[in-house]
Amino acid sequence: MRIKQNKRVIEESELDMTPMIDIVFQLLIFFLLSAKFIALEGQLSSYLPKDRGLQASFSKIEPDEVIFFLEWVADPVNDKTGRVRCQTINYKPSPGAASGQDHEFESQDATVGQIEYGPDRRLVQYGEGVDMPGYHIPNFTNIEDYLNFRHGLYETKGSGKSIPVTINVSDNVPMQMVANIVDICTRIGITNVTIAAKEIPID
Amino acid sequence: MKKRRSSDNNFETKMELTPMIDCVFLLIMFFILTTQITVNIEEVTLPFALEGKPEKRDNTDAVMLIMNVRKSQADDAASRAGEIVYQGKVLNTKTLRAMLDDEVAYDAAPPPRGRGRAKEVGPNNVQLSQLEILIRYDKHVKSEYLRTIFEQCQKAGVYKLKLATTQP
């Protein structure tokens, strides 16, 4: 009798939680590791021209096309710092506009400019002392205003297409500058952005 | 004497293997997952962009290759020279093109060998690949490699490119 009762007590043992906790931890680690990284990044999508046959020839400069020239002007004393010179060149202005209109955007010290957001989350200035040491970068607020103005002019013509924008960037310019201009174009709604294949000398 | 020996024998129980196997599996899974991440994704400081959209997952068929442009590790940090890195390997223009051609061929090959996705035919009967390429470009690095990647992608027939950004 005594032995039998003992057996019954053993049968009614508590549920063992340890394996379940093991498995739950394992699942936790799995999902933490597999789900974490890429969701934090944004993406600017772009499509290259589908027609490879055209790329060897010069593309035509369209009237009203906005061409950005981004140049790296190194500091003569310390070549690790410098400024990014940004200008637009209008080779074929639309009738009525001043011919050969040339717009240079003043550059300013990136250590002064801070990241701020306007009321409508509009970009005020990129750049941070820690991020862009010793760079003088163009004032992107001016660039955005200028692009907005040109985009508005183009839209009133009612061609239904986006204004063409070409970014002619010299080799030494940091990538952030290109991303900024693409970003501004995306925000305004300009989809026709080209990166120039070969540099055309300005002068 | 005899009794003692038998009690001694009782102490020599079998070693419990289950927790050890659990731990080993856990470690294996951990290392598999972490190495996969480090192979494709290099440590780069991505450029800021407010308009960067989070990755869309609606097209589950999309195959995305991740290409990194990081600061060159041979040069000193301030020179802003960079290198194109794909799956942990540094590529130059030639090897970049060879890699792209390989990936495009693999993508288009029928299932036992590849993924078997049909190529799209663009203007002038140009064969276009369905591959997508995510470019993770360090924002401090010179932008000259962007042009190289664009040119080689276009020659290989890859036209869907994405630029990775981060929110400021």
pLDDT computed for residue A128 by the predictor: 40
Domain ranges of chain B: 2-40, 64-163
Q: Does domain B64-163 have CATH number 3.30.420.270?
A: yes
How many whole angstroms separate alpha carbon B131 and alpha carbon B112? 18
For an interface test with A, the pick among B50, B58, B136 (most A C-beta atoms closer than 10 Å) comes out as: B50
Question: Which position has the higher pLDDT, A35 or B113?
Answer: B113
Q: What is the pLDDT of residue B123?
A: 74
DSSP per-residue letters across A85-101: EEEEE-SSPPTTSPTT-
Residue A124 confidence class, pLDDT cut points 50, 70, 90? very low
At A192 the pLDDT is: 83
For the full predicted model, state whether its pTM sits above 0.90.
Answer: no
Instruction: Tell me: pLDDT of B126 over 60.
Output: yes
Residue among A58, A50, A38, A98 nearest B40 (CA): A38
Q: What pLDDT is recorded for position A52?
A: 59
Query: Per the CB < 8 Å rule, is A53 touching B124?
Result: yes
Q: Rank A171-180, A181-190, B37-46 by mean pLDDT and report only the highest.
A: A181-190
3-class DSSP assignment, residue A193: strand
Query: Does the pLDDT value for residue A129 go beyond 90?
Result: no
What's the pLDDT band for B96 if we cut at 50, 70, 90?
very high
Q: For residue A38, which of B28, B106, B162 has the smallest C-alpha distance?
A: B162
Query: Is ipTM over 0.85?
Result: no
Residue A61 pLDDT exceeds 50: yes
How many angstroms separate the CA of residue A41 from the nearest CA in chain B?
5
Q: For residue A150, report the phi and psi dihedrals to the nearest 5 degrees.
A: -65, -40
- B41 and A46 in contact by Cβ < 8 A? no
Residue for token pair 């993770």: B136
Q: Is residue A109 exposed (0-12), middle (13-18) or buried (19+ Cβ within 10 Å)? A: middle
In terms of CA atoms, which chain A residue is nearest residue B138? A175
Q: Are B147 and A197 in contact (CB under 8 A)?
A: yes
Least confident of A170-179, B31-40, B41-50: B31-40
Higher pLDDT, A154 or A118: A154
Neighbouring CB atoms inside 10 A of B101's CB total: 16
d(CA B140, CA B46): 9
For residue B103, which phi and psi values (nearest 5 degrees)? -65, -40
**What is the distance between the alpha carbons of residues A167 and A153, in angstroms, rounded to a whole number?**
20
Q: Which residues contact B63 (CB under 8 A, 6 or more apart)?
A: B107, B115, B117, B130, B131, B132
Question: Rounded CA gap, B18 and B14, in Å?
Answer: 12
From chain A, the residues in CB contact with B152 under 8 A are none
Q: Taking CB atoms and an 8 Å limit, are A174 and B155 in contact across chains?
A: no
pLDDT band at A23; cut points 50, 70, 90? confident
Which of 144-163 (A) contact B at CB < 8 A? none
Nearest CB to A197; choose among B48, B147, B163: B147
DSSP chain B: -HHHHHHHHHH-PPPP-HHHHHHHHHHHHHHHHHHHHHHH-----PPB-TTPEEPP-S-TT--EEEEEEEE-SSS-GGG--EEEEETTEEE-HHHHHHHHHHHHHHHHS-TTTS--PPPEE-GGG-EEEEEEEEEEE-TTSBTHHHHHHHHHHHHHTEEEEEEEEB--
For residue B91, count other CB atoms closer than 10 A to its CB.
Answer: 21
Cα A141 to Cα A148: distance, rounded to the nearest angstrom: 11
Task: Give yes or no for residue A60 having a pLDDT over 90.
Answer: no
Q: Does residue B130 contact residue B121 with C-beta atoms inside 8 Å?
A: no
Please check whether residue A38 touches B, CB under 8 A.
yes
Least confidently predicted of A80-94, A133-147, A155-169: A80-94
Q: Is A203 helix (H, G, I), strand (E, B) or coil?
A: coil
pLDDT score recorded for residue A51? 67
- Residue A16, chain B, CB below 8 Å: the answer is no
Q: Is A29 an interface residue toward B (CB < 8 Å)?
A: yes
Q: What is the pLDDT of residue A198?
A: 61
- Average pLDDT score over chain A: 68
Compare B43 and B36 and report the one with higher pLDDT. Answer: B43
Helix, strand or coil, per DSSP, at residue A31: helix
Write out the two tokens for A9: 């007590």
Q: Which of A20, A32, A41, A186 to mutate to test the interface with B (most CBs of B within 10 A)?
A: A41
Predicted local distance difference test score (pLDDT) of residue A200: 44
pLDDT band for position A43 (cuts 50, 70, 90): confident
The pLDDT value given to residue B99:
92
Q: Taking CB atoms and an 8 Å limit, are A187 and B164 in contact across chains?
A: no
| Chain B residues whose beta carbon lies within 8 Å of the beta carbon of residue A33 | 30, 33-34, 37
What pLDDT is attached to residue A202?
A: 40
pLDDT class for B109, splitting at 50, 70, 90?
Answer: confident
Which percentage of chain A shows pLDDT scores above 90?
0
The answer on pLDDT for B18 being more than 50 is yes
Nearest to B46 among A41, A171, A197 (CB): A41
**pLDDT at A53 > cutoff 70:** no
What the block records as the tokens of A97 is 């506009």
Q: In the predicted model, is pLDDT for residue B95 greater than 90?
A: yes
The Cα–Cα gap between A183 and A176 comes to: 10
Per the CB < 8 Å rule, is B139 touching A176?
A: yes
| Closest-CA residue to B143 (of A183, A173, A200) | A173
pLDDT grade for B76, boundaries at 50, 70 and 90? low
pLDDT greater than 90 at residue B58: no
How is A148-182 classified by DSSP, letter by letter? HHHHHHHHHHT-SSPPPEEEEE-TTSBHHHHHHHH
Model pLDDT, residue A143 = 81
With 50 as the cut, is the pLDDT of residue A150 above it?
yes
The least confident of A17-31, A71-85, A121-135 is A121-135
- Mean pLDDT for B113-134 is 79
